[in-house]
Amino acid sequence: MSLSNPKVSIIVPLYNVIDLIEETIESLLKQTLTEIEYIFIDDESSDGTYEKALDYEQKHLHIKVIRQASNRGVSAARNRGIKEATGDYVFFMDSDDLLLENSLETLYYAAITNDADLVTGVHAAYTDGVVTPADMFKQFPRLQIEGEKVLYENTELFYLIYCWGKLFKRELVADLTFPEGINYFEDQPFIVNAYLKALKIYSVPSVTYYHRKRSGASQSLTQLIQTNLYKHMDDLIEAIEMSTTYITNEKDGEESLKLLIGYLNRVLLWNVWYIISSAIGSKNSDVTMYCLTKVNNWITTLDDNVVLHTQGFQIFMQEANKYSSLLDADSMKQLVNLMRNTLGKMEAAKRQTTSY
């Protein structure tokens, strides 16, 4: 039995988190906001996670546990959760993270008071019981200033490009989907699309979410990036291409350019460079060549003017050049090609500007 008219639907994908799932569920059950429905989508766990969730479902009427017919990934689980949700608002949570007791009440009150389609809070990193501020709030303090945010004026929102920790009007996300062919960075296109379609975005200054950073053997899939750099790079480029397409389809002119620059600065310095530096650090020439080639091919597809005005490209090249001594001859040749390609697009944009 479920609630007839919940205020918030919390969607939690599950996959083999038996060592942490109880702590996560208990943090949900302690919420001060009432009338919440909890939707757990199990993606064919094999370690007892599904059975543990069922134990909670039997004891709490507002918990619904659904098991996927096959292992389809986190995107499919979240998409199923959206279809099942009946709350006025939707909240995504990872199965190893935690909430403060008043998290949902804080976000929900801000949403209804300000008629917001999307509400962001502050999140902190949680490692072995130790809570530390998340880096993006130090670098972009405007993210934790309370009030309405306009994406065009607050492109720092792209640094909060995760689906978890935000409250969405159900009407906003009802027709949005997570890309099911992507295992990593899958929430980037979803959030970019939600930002673009939200009529009103509001931020609260309170810490409302603890994002767990696991240590040792229990590290999450996202943390274990170096174990599959091919797939991470493939998924990242696909996520970027989807996200930039959403921007260019929704906006044009100066607004589109500014949003593309804001988004690309974020992914170049926080995602693309991290994978490239990890590939170089792996000392695996095949992986390094693959990742450099993938980035070079992607840059070729970009508008020259976007490349010229996105500072992240210049910083990316400067950082990559520092690592050049670690590259073999073939990888070095590809890095040079990447730099020439990028500089060539910048020069082409400058020539086009001066020709008018």
Query: 């693959």: which residue's tokens?
Result: 290
Of 44-53, 224-233, 270-279, 307-316, which range is least confident?
Answer: 224-233
Q: Specify the pLDDT at position 2.
A: 58
For residue 251, pLDDT beyond 70: yes
Domain 8-218 has CATH 3.10.450.50: no
For residue 356, pLDDT beyond 60: no
For residue 163, pLDDT beyond 70: yes
Q: Specify the pLDDT at position 129.
A: 85
Q: Specify the pLDDT at position 225.
A: 59
Across the range 186-204, mean pLDDT stands at 98
For residue 221, pLDDT beyond 50: no
For residue 355, pLDDT beyond 90: no
pTM, two decimals, is: 0.94
Q: Specify the pLDDT at position 71.
A: 87
First to last CA, the chain: 67
On average, the pLDDT of the chain sits at 93
Across the range 316-337, mean pLDDT stands at 93
Residues belonging to the chain:
356
pLDDT tens-digit map of 72-84: 999 999 999 999 9
Query: 65 pairs with which residues across the strands?
Result: 40
Q: Specify the pLDDT at position 352.
A: 86
CA 77 vs. chain centroid, Å, equals 16
For residue 218, pLDDT beyond 70: no
Q: Specify the pLDDT at position 226.
A: 59
For residue 214, pLDDT beyond 90: no
Domains of the chain, by residue range, sit at: 8-218, 225-355
Query: 67 pairs with which residues across the strands?
Result: 42
